[in-house]
């Protein structure tokens, strides 16, 4: 049966909330948005046999098409992932689950889900694994407009212009990233 094995992202109640730590190895650094996890299998890498975090950020991640881009943050060698995590973002997903002898099952998040200032981990040990025919995960900054609105309101005109410029830059950079994906 074709498909890609990856954690069951629909099992939200089985996701683990992990608080940030000020002491963690370099390969356990995460970003706002989407993060993936896999084990580095290169013996010469500092992170050999450790779960490393692949920072994806605010993006649309395609489990099938973007899979080959997943590399260890230390040695930059390809690795397989089956865990994902979110932090400080809104996320949504759409995909197709494959089960032997069953019709294709379309999966879609009902609405955008919000993740606060922690690391929300979907681990196959708790959430289970699915065989995905396709899966797209989309992450966006949460309350960006509200936060920027507040910022613009508090600042004098010159600063306001500058912050507007940086918001535009932010959207441009994010758009470029999405396009590349």
Cβ atoms of residues 91 and 139 within 8 Å: yes
Distance in Å, CB of 6 to Zn ion, minimum? 20
Distance in Å, CB of 47 to Zn ion, minimum? 5
Distance in Å, CB of 38 to Zn ion, minimum? 10
Whole-angstrom Cα distance, residue 165 to residue 152?
Answer: 11
- The residue (of 81 and 90) whose beta carbon lies closer to Zn ion is 81
Q: Which two tokens stand for residue 116?
A: 């606060």
Residue position matching structure tokens 């060698």: 77
Binding stretches for Zn ion (CB under 5 A): 40, 42, 45, 47, 72, 74-75
Closest C-alpha among 85, 71, 82 to residue 33: 85
Closest C-alpha among 20, 8, 38 to residue 120: 20
Distance in Å, CB of 54 to Zn ion, minimum? 11
- The residue (of 39 and 155) whose beta carbon lies closer to Zn ion is 39
Q: How many helices (H) and strands (E) does the chain have?
A: 3, 11
- The residue (of 55 and 75) whose beta carbon lies closer to Zn ion is 75
- The residue (of 9 and 45) whose beta carbon lies closer to Zn ion is 45
């Amino acid at each position: 049966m074709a498909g890609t094995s990856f954690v069951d992202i629909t099992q939200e109640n089985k996701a683990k909330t992990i608080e940030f730590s000020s002491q963690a190895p370099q390969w356990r650094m995460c970003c706002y948005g989407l993060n993936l996890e896999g084990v580095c299998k290169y013996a010469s890498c500092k992170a050999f046999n450790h779960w490393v975090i692949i920072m994806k950020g605010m993006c649309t991640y395609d489990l099938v098409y973007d899979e080959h881009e997943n590399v260890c943050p230390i040695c930059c060698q390809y690795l397989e992932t089956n865990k994902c995590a979110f932090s400080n973002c809104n996320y949504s997903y759409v995909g197709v689950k494959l089960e032997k002898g069953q019709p294709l099952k379309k999966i879609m998040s009902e609405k955008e889900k919000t993740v606060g200032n922690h690391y929300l981990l979907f681990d196959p040990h708790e959430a289970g694994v699915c065989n995905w025919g396709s899966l797209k995960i989309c992450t966006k900054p949460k309350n960006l407009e509200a936060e920027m609105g507040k910022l613009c309101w508090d600042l004098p005109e010159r600063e306001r212009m500058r912050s507007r410029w940086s918001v535009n830059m932010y959207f441009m950079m994010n758009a470029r990233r999405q396009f590349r994906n």
